[in-house]
Amino acid sequence: MWSGVVCRDTMPTDVENWKSEVYGNEIREHLFEFAERGFDSIPDDERDAWFERFKWWGLYHQRNGQEGYFMLRIGTPNGVLEPGQLRVVGEIADEYARGPGTNPIFGDAYADFTTRQSIQLHWIELSDVPAIFEKLEANGLSAQQACGDSWRNIVGNPVAGKDGQEVIDAWPVIRDLNETFKGNDDHSNLPRKWKVSVTGSADGSGQGDINDLAFEPAYKDIDGEGGGSGEGGEDAVGFNVRVGGGLARNEPRFARDIDVWVPPERVSDVAGGLSALFRDHGDREDRYNARIKFLVDEWGPEEVRETLQADYVDFELETAGRDVREEYTYNAGEGERNDLIGVHDQKDGANFVGLNVLVGRMGAGDVLELADLVEEYGSGEVRLSQRQNVIVTDVPDDALDDFLAEDLLEHYSPEPSPFMRGSVACTGTEFCSLSIVETKNRQVRFARWLKENAELPDGVEEFHVHLSGCTASCAQPQIADVSLRGMKTRKDGEPVEALDVGLGGGLGEEPGFARWVTQRVPVDEVPGAIANLLESFADQREEGESFRAFVARHDDEELDALVDPEETDYEDPMMHNTKRTWYPYAEEDGLDDAPPVPADD
């Protein structure tokens, strides 16, 4: 018989202990050994440690009931897929991303484009990892540091270098950062993930505000040589620096201005200095408190700057320059270019075409068909946005009409319904341990129902609905017009999946998080709630008023009344606890029906 309370505090955490034993580049050798010897060769009592370490190489073990299957995340810096790489992704998805579960909407092999401009494949078997890595790396792709406590995939304006609206081309800077900090042993074991955004455009499409570290375009009068105002002068163009943004864990923060401007050639020094500062001062005893946003809370931006200057860079930091935040429109809830869907001018005279990928998921066959089209009509390159969409670049004017007439673009449209266009969803209980509810298929059902049954007022072209399965906020719910977050409630006495409803979030010059105005709406009443809300918005809005502005001038109680949940003809087949299944869409879905670990062949 045990007695007493035993060892509730363990410092450092299990994860830190595991990392101190094996982490970073050296994991690969072990990973390949396990792949060679088979999944069962991982000792039972070491599995959690190895699964934690495998994340560093982009592999997440899928949730309970899916034993032996992994999610593979491929990090594509700035979302850039160079010519030929989309085809490689499609071929890998087609050959390896097939498992025992078939999704009723998306089939049995698909790629997910994520809110951090990466790609996720599911049902990957360990024994296939060496062959997949070989194919990725032979084609300039990698899963290294796609997950884990290190530099994650660097994000930014996906059309960097091509965008007619850009202030500075951030793509060479991002490439340099990627080459410097991927596989860099000095930065491979951080207290927690490290998310970096580098944006050169004036639209704010790098979403720097919600990253651990953000570089945003700014002008600086160096040594009094510039024009000062930037109008007709010769101010240097570089980046202002913000630190400590992030959305997870009911603790959302926008990145804080640390009053630093940096020229492009010194971004790597400042980024490395801040990464090292986080490595040395971040909290390794409590993973809930580990992200740098909490260190910035504790220290304040001034102390971050002072410590960076004193201990981590060997040159005098410039104070912040003149930013262009007043021009930000991306995900801002109003103005032009809330996303990058549609046909846009490149600065070289060609066009980029943003295609809507509903909830970011594309079947492997469609990926391969798109790869054919981009080679035929463009340069073969595509780019991924933080709204889970695909952008085809380098389409010349004389090829544009033929490209737009292709059948595939009926499904992945450059002119979608606002409800399709505005939909973002995370992985959800289909594969994720943390999620409370089913998400991707549900958001597809929501979008289709809203398209048929709801209307936006005249002049409102975009309406963003983000569905996240839990507070980890992978779908970035706090920065949408309508934010949906997984919950549970009881309906007729029975536990059912539910969603909290938040309103009025967005980025832009003055970013704001959604206000959670209505709690725990049973999922089958959510479409009706959104339709009722839109009806009230249409009736009560002031002329030309955006949804975000409409929300801003109402208090929470008024907004709660406008949400008005209602059963409609929308039917939700996933009201039950999808966590208690091995796969929510399986005919025999109970955990006892889970498939065996895949055979090593």
Partner 1 sequence: MFSSRVVLDGDPACAHRHPLGRDGPTGGVTTRLRVLDDGAWISVDDHREVRVSELWRLDEPGFCGCDLADLVVENFQEVGVDGSRVETRVYGQCIECGETGVTDWLPVGRVRGGEFVELDRSCVRRTRRE
Contacts with partner 1, residue ranges (CB under 8 A): 1-10, 13-15, 17, 44-45, 47-48, 63-64, 249-250, 285-288, 433-437, 470-472, 486-490, 495, 519-520, 577, 579
Residue number with CB closer to partner 1 (139 or 519):
519
Of 20, 2, 3, whose CA–CA distance to 11 is shortest? 20
Q: For the CA atoms of the chain, what is the radius of gyration?
A: 24
DSSP state for residue 25 in the 8-state scheme: G
- Least CB distance from residue 28 to partner 1, whole Å? 22
Smallest separation, CB 165 to partner 1 (Å) = 37
Dihedral (CA of 213, 218, 224, 226) sign: positive
177 or 474, CB closer to partner 1?
474
**Rounded distance between C-alpha atoms, residue 369 and residue 366, angstroms:** 5
What span, in angstroms and rounded, lies between the C-alpha atoms of 474 and 115? 7
CB of 379 to partner 1, least distance (A): 39
Which amino acid is located at 287 in the chain? Answer: R
Instruction: Name the region of 74 (left: φ>0; alpha: ψ -120 to 50; beta: rest).
Output: beta
Give the nearest distance from C-beta 436 to partner 1 in angstroms: 4
Which residue is associated with the tokens 């091509």? Answer: 162
Nearest-approach distance from CB 533 to partner 1, in angstroms: 20
Residue 285 or 402 with smaller CB distance to partner 1? 285
**Looking at residue 357, what DSSP letter applies?**
-
CB of 61 to partner 1, least distance (A): 9
Closest approach, Cβ 251 to partner 1, in A, equals 11
CA distance from start to end of the chain: 46
Q: Which residues pair with 246 in a beta bridge?
A: 253
Distances (CA, A) of 375 to 265, 369, 379: 34, 10, 6
The answer to whether the CB of 416 falls within 8 A of the CB of 341 is: yes
CA distance 403 to 376: 9
Nearer to partner 1, 422 or 469 (CB): 469
Q: Concatenated DSSP letters for 118-163?
A: -EEEEEEEGGGHHHHHHHHHHTT-B-TTSSSSSB---EE-TTTTTB
> Which of 591/599 has CB closer to partner 1?
591
Short-list 471, 529, 79, CA closest to 249? 471
Q: Given phi > 0 = left and psi -120 to 50 = alpha, else beta, which region is 287?
A: alpha
Q: Kind and range of the H or E element at 484?
A: strand 482-491
User: Of 34 and 261, which has the nearer Cβ to partner 1?
Assistant: 34
Looking at beta carbons only, is 145 or 393 nearer to partner 1?
Answer: 145
Minimum separation from the CB atom of position 183 to partner 1 (A): 25
Closer CB to partner 1, 45 or 492, in the complex: 45
In the complex, the smallest distance separating the C-beta of residue 539 from partner 1, rounded to whole angstroms, is: 28
Closest CB to partner 1 among 102 and 489? Answer: 489
Beta bridge partners of 80: 383
Residue closer to partner 1, measured from CB, 179 or 285 = 285
The two most distant CA atoms of the chain are separated, in Å, by 81
Distances (CA, A) of 158 to 9, 414, 417: 44, 16, 22
Rounded Cα distance, 490 and 473, in Å: 23
Q: How far is the CB of 586 from partner 1 (least distance, A)?
A: 18
Tokens 């320059």 appear where?
321
Give all strands (DSSP E) within 397-463, no chain letters.
423-425
Indicate the residue among 1 and 138 with the shorter CB distance to partner 1: 1
527's CB contacts (< 8 A; 6+ apart) are 446, 449, 450, 453, 454, 568, 570
Q: How near is the Cβ of 153 to partner 1 at its closest, in Å?
A: 18
- Nearest distance in Å: CB 520, partner 1: 5
Instruction: Between 322 and 520, name the residue whose CB sits nearer to partner 1.
Output: 520
